[in-house]
Structure 1
Amino acid sequence: MICDDARPNVVFETIESSLLKGNPLGDPSLRHVPVYLPPSYDGTERFPVIYLLAGFASTGMSFLNYGFGRQTLPEMIDAMIRRGEMPKVIVVMPDCMTRYGGSQYVDSTATGPYETYLTRELIPHIDRKFRTLTEATHRAVVGKSSGGFGALRLGMRHPKLFAAVGCHSGDMDFDLCYRPNFPVAARALEKYGGSLPAFFTRWESLDKKPRGEFALLDIMAMAACYSPNPSLPPPGNMKLPFEQHTCQLVPEVWEQWKSFDPLTMLNEAKYQDSLGSLRTLFLDCGSQDEYNLQFGHRRFSARATEIGIAHRYEEFPDTHTDTSYRYRASLPLLAEAISG
């Protein structure tokens, strides 16, 4: 029986990152990371760990946000563990936020080395500070949207760190998920004379951000991750993948972007081997996703099946937003995979 007054045990770990110190955007090197601890955590028993990555414009703290009629992620996890619906795990919610709205969990000369921070600083810190099972066989990574992209990419690039991966509506098939926003971003940029610094300076100054310009912020942030330009100072230290006046693709920049696309990466043998070595690979997407991600996920699943990568892919009748309930599908699978 679950006690009605049971509350999830969430502690806040403060991490001073030497890697993020002096990053180009002046973002803090001191990061506050929520860590969920299972009900039986007493400092003696060791537990497997799931790293839970937030989507764009969100961070680890976002998983704690109260919303009427729904559980926070720690409440959801705690309830499932107490009901015996998933094994006991520690869940870490990293902070990889930037002034541009997110890091995509990649290393970039325009934002900072967030992939390296997560893999070489945060994970070792968590293993030192908490009673974790430190082998890769007891570690998983999962996220939604940009977090799903980050989880899938980390699993492909760091097979010695993760044994299970979950990707909820993760960015992929860039031709479909990003390119439709290029004309929207180009129109918004024209209001600022084509100047990214002018746009971003105003954006940061406003208490209420204009919704109609979010597409430009998003594309700017993605460009900072996928096509940085260290020869320019921030803000604006990136190369856009389209020509501003005609909105035509800039081929060499677009190729830089596409090299990050999980669909592109899936064609490389080393990444096929990484995914093939996982104990569990879970992907899902809403069938009405407004960023067209369902099409990329279908292609990814079909290609993975073709080359013999074991995985589970699910679609559900919903859009891209407010789908945190889908973690009920992935987290028990991932926890089971890393608990053996």
Structure 2
Amino acid sequence: MLPWSPERAGRIDEGVVDSALLRDNPLGDPHQRPVYVYLPPGYDESDRRYPVVYVIQGYTGHVRTWLNREPFRRPFPDLVDELFATGGAPPAIVVFVDAWTSWGGSQFVDSPATGRYHSYLCDEVVAWVDARYRTIADRDHRAITGKSSGGYGAMITPILRPDLFAALATHAGDALFEVCYQPFFPAVARMLRDEYDGSYESFRAGLAGREVGTRDSDHDLIEIYGCSAAYSGNPDASVSIPFDDNGVVVDEVWSRWLANDPVRLAADPTNADTLRSLHSVWIDAGTRDEYYLDLGARAFHRALAAAGVDDENVHFETFPAGHGNIGYRYPLALAWLCRRFP
């Protein structure tokens, strides 16, 4: 496996979305966000219009990490280019979106503690792309895909914004919250007790004077805090943690998390018509996923079936793997989505 990118048959435009919705966000994060737009082979030689697939990242990811190269693996943009260059799928525009925050991620939701990231994605990024590229600008020709937190965003976005998206792919997306999140609460409560006197405020203060990742507990503490900021942020930009010092859930806060669970959103009867209107849903996860997201994937699949979603419109699959190193799955879902656009 060569450690550099080959010459592409298509091309990637690097742009910047100047977001009014993210301006003055509570964390002071940039409101100007990079965006990568992959244009398939032949885009510049014709006047045809193309469907669009939006790609959103996992927790701690940002748009530039898509071009990072791991040993013996190719970055996803290279796999996208190969897919279209070899005729493995009908051509599409592929948009890589940035929704990073100072806490590692936004979960692609609107939150008073982080910013209006769902509205930014739906109302600003989509409009920015449609204004600059030859897209087929309707819901039936838009899909959204992602892994982990990105898979979570891919599940909730077509439910919340059916006017924009009629297709999705989720790879090990956060779902079935009592299974994927709650088991980690006692461990995080211990970390806070043993290292920070039980206080997230002490943890936050301690981060100010050192590099993130220099303590083994950093990632888990940041991830739970970042999710809390997304799911249980308060109007004054403070953050409510969903468990007490023994790791026991605080019901009034935990209920706010559960309201964001894709399994519960899919099971809500008011969303049934929206779910049945989706023409393509890809769901997969590894059977050894450390966050039990294969169980979340199965629960989401079952909720779709219970809502009356036609099984011919759904691809559900589990495979032998953990949570990491499943990037080879992304082109499979992308090809399937592109073949299913009207």
Once the two structures are superposed, what CA deviation does each residue of 1:151-177 show, in whole Å capped at 9, x if it has no partner?
110011111101211111000111111
From 306, 309, 320, the counterpart of 2:323: 320
User: Which of 72, 90, 93 is 2:93 aligned to?
Assistant: 90
Amino acid paired to 2:243 = F
| Counterpart in the other structure of 1:242 | 243
TM-score (norm 1): 0.93
The alignment status of 1:226 with 2:231, answered yes or no, reads yes
2:26·2:114 contact (CA, 8 Å) conserved in 1? Answer: yes
- TM-score normalised by the chain length of structure 2: 0.93
Range with greater deviation from structure 2 (160-169 or 302-311): 302-311
Residue 30 of structure 2: aligned partner = 28
Partner of 2:63: 60
Q: Aligned ranges for residues 280-291 of structure 1 at < 5 Å?
A: 280-291=280-291
Deviation at 1:282, TM superposition (A): 0.7
What is the identity, as a one-letter code, of the residue corresponding to 1:228?
G
State the distance in 2 between where 1:196 and 1:5 align.
Answer: 47
- Range with bigger deviation, 220-229 or 7-16: 7-16
Structure 1 segments of 4 or more deviating over 4 A? none
Shift, 1:297, TM fit: 1.5
RMSD: 1.5
| Worse-matched range after superposition: 68-77 or 193-202 | 193-202
Q: CA–CA distance in 2 between the matches of 1:215 and 1:5?
A: 39
Q: How many residues align?
A: 331
SS in 1 for 2:267: coil
Residue 138 of structure 1 pairs with residue 133 of structure 2: no
User: Partner amino acid for 1:222?
Assistant: C
Tell me how far 1:204 sits from its aligned partner.
Answer: 4.7
What are the residue-to-residue correspondences of 1:258-337 with 2, within 5 Å?
258-310=258-310, 311-337=314-340
SS in 2 for 1:44: coil
Candidates 117, 122, 127, aligned match of 1:119: 122
* Structure 2 residues not aligned, in runs of 5+: 1-5
Equivalent residue for 1:9?
A: 11
CA distance change for structure 1 residues 149 and 61 in 2, over 3 Å: closer, same or farther?
Answer: same
**Deviation at residue 19 of structure 1 after TM alignment:** 0.7
Structure 1 residue identity aligned to 2:201: P
What SS class does the counterpart of residue 134 from structure 1 fall into?
coil
**Letter paired with 2:281:** L
**Residue 23 of structure 2 contacts residue 31 of structure 2 at CA under 8 Å; is this kept in 1?**
yes
Secondary structure of 2:203's aligned partner: helix
Corresponding residue number in structure 1 for 2:211: 207
SS of residue in 2 equivalent to 1:172: coil
- Mapped to 1, the partners of 2:152 and 2:8 lie a distance apart of 33
Shift of 1:332: 0.8
Q: 1: distance between equivalents of 2:293 and 2:72?
A: 27
For the Cα contact (< 8 Å) 1:155–1:165, is it kept in 2?
yes
1:41 correspondence with 2:43: yes
Aligned residue type for 1:300? F
After superposition, give the CA deviation of every residue in 1:8-39 in whole Å (9 maximum; x if it has no partner).
51111111111100000000001111111111
Q: Is the 8 A contact 1:61 1:93 kept in 2?
A: no
Determine helix, strand or coil for the equivalent of 1:188. helix
The verdict on how the C-alpha distance between 1:129 and 1:5 changes in structure 2, with shifts beyond 3 A counting, is closer
Distance (Å, rounded) in 1 between the aligned partners of 2:306 and 2:248: 34
User: 270-279 or 175-184, which moves further after superposition?
Assistant: 270-279
Indicate the SS of the match to 1:153: helix
Give % identity.
Answer: 37
Would you say 1:216 and 2:217 are equivalent positions? no
